[in-house]
Chain A
């Protein structure tokens, strides 16, 4: 009898204490995010880029015609044509599709590995020792060099790129998740869950992991940007996405020739501008997300 009435009393008590209806966390997050003007602009920019990437026509992007190679922008070819006479505008759109797909899949993969290893490290002190040494080795080494070694062994290509980027960037989400686990492993509600007899798996997935959602989302948003940059860098070097498939990175590869860089700027400026715009937009969104998720709500009235 007493146990059924107590929570009710507490609820009403809390309600009166706050003095206004309690806002759901999701709504509060959205409200705070919308106040970040640059973050909203960034989000819209990203959506526009995604729509453009989706509507790009692969057929046009791959159609070669050497008769019209290296032509400057014109009404037929808005961004001109490249050295194989392919339409640069169509290639930028389709290239965006490839670059964004690589970035997103690679980051999700990295978040998955990182979350699993981070959770194990944060929950079992013995595994922690080993996993954190591995993290140390990875983190003390420049990402791009690790990737170059991986490319030399496994070869370039879209799928390889997604896997390899995931395999070298998992240390960041791993540390984020581990940090949350170390913080919450001994918390009262985790202990309570253990006392009630919940299994380790249930405590981990239902009670501790949800707390890492916010930092993980921020990581994923920023991670996509850095994965897109890694793809751009590797493909620029000719070691990423292989032609004829366009990506922002391998379109930039044309700029390795000084002649193209100087005489045909329309061949490399569109993918370069697209990459920069995307990365900047993501950074604004990431910034906004970080503030919006901050439970302390420093800017909240």
Chain B
């Protein structure tokens, strides 16, 4: 098991460096001039000053050297400072966004898992029933419905027409913190982000469950005289879950992507919202910092998926 994890980690390392190189290159080649940010506007034509700053920050070095400098600082937690304003450290800001995003995505994921998987099992057990057809139709809508339009519609209907949810943000401004307040703000965006997820997990659980139910060892278990309940829970369901783990892992990047726009629709102060703001304001240190954090998150999620897969399916470990 330990060797397996180490091997997976080693595979993730080059991908991580690949991402950092791409991000660094893109932003190094970006139009705009980092030097000007350090000089007062009236002195911008002063060539000596320019040269001094370029030398001081190593901007005259070749790209590979600059990349190594940047990476060395980054791994020590120095992601630079937000452009404009008072220049807050990027890391602090990103950390706050990370917590908010995790809260939103985590809730959506849990909704997906705890609603989607049971519905998928139900759909498979009653294959070709009215319920199965209804769930299939709902899943089709859920998968093809763009989450951000659902978000706009949801915000309009539940936040503005019938005012049962707050219209955005994470907490009521000025009010003392309470879990209820947070929950009320969280409910609508998390539900909308979770809808597509419910649909996807339901479909995959259904087909995986149907496949397992048709297998010989399930027939054997039934033939042994085990009660139906035991066959389904112990023999079928546990094996049907194995591919679902992969689906959950593979869809995590899409969850992060979906969160970007949902966060903007609901002014949720997460990383997606920050990313959009940073791009609109061309705040490159922020863009790099956020990208790096998303990259680490996605790679860790992939790694966890692989490990979970190995735990669930012994065949993976020994190959």
Contact = CB atoms under 8 A, between A and B. Distances in A.
Interface of A: 133-134, 136-137, 139-145, 148-153, 225, 229, 232-233, 236-239, 252, 255-256, 258, 261-262, 265, 268, 272, 275-276, 279-280, 283
A153 B140 CA distance: 36
Nearest to A261: B156
A169 B171 CA distance: 36
A41 B167 CA distance: 36
Nearest to A273: B149
B253 A139 contact: yes
Contact of A140 (B31, B260, B299): B299
A229 B220 CA distance: 48
A153 B260 CA distance: 19
Nearest to B12: A140
Interface of B: 14-15, 18-19, 22-23, 26-27, 29-31, 140-141, 143-146, 148-149, 152-153, 155-156, 160, 167-168, 253-254, 256-257, 260-261, 264, 275-276, 278-280, 282, 284, 287, 291, 294-295, 298-299, 302
Given A140-B15, A142-B257, A151 B279 contact: yes
Contacts of A152: 27, 30, 278-279, 282, 284, 287
B36 to A, nearest CB: 17
B260 A255 contact: no
B15 A239 contact: no
B15 A237 contact: no
Contacts of B275: 145, 148
Contact of A275 (B22, B31, B149, B160): B149
B105 to A, nearest CB: 11
A148 B261 CA distance: 11
29 contacts: A133-B15, A136-B15, A139-B253, A140-B298, A141-B19, A141-B295, A142-B253, A142-B254, A142-B257, A142-B298, A143-B253, A145-B257, A148-B276, A148-B287, A149-B287, A149-B291, A152-B282, A152-B284, A153-B27, A229-B146, A233-B261, A236-B261, A237-B276, A261-B160, A262-B156, A272-B149, A275-B149, A276-B149, A280-B144
A239 B23 CA distance: 19
Q: Which 10 A-B pairs give the minimum distances between C-beta atoms?
A: A142-B257, A283-B144, A144-B257, A262-B160, A152-B279, A142-B256, A142-B253, A153-B30, A137-B18, A148-B279
Contacts of A283: 140, 143-144
B49 to A, nearest CB: 27
Contact of A153 (B29, B141, B145): B29
A18 B116 CA distance: 45
B302 to A, nearest CB: 6
A148 B298 contact: no
A222 B298 CA distance: 25
B19 A279 contact: no
A148 B257 CA distance: 10
A62 to B, nearest CB: 24
A152 B288 CA distance: 11
A175 to B, nearest CB: 13
Contacts of A139: 253
A232 B150 CA distance: 13
A148 B260 CA distance: 10
Given A237-B276, A255-B152, A268-B152, A143 B257 contact: yes
B179 to A, nearest CB: 25
Contacts of A275: 146, 149
Contacts of A141: 19, 253, 294-295, 298
A133 B14 contact: yes
Given A239-B280, A283-B144, 5 more contacts: A140-B299, A148-B275, A149-B26, A152-B279, A258-B168
A237 B264 CA distance: 8
Contacts of B19: 137, 141
Contacts of B253: 139-143
Contacts of B146: 229, 232-233, 275-276, 279
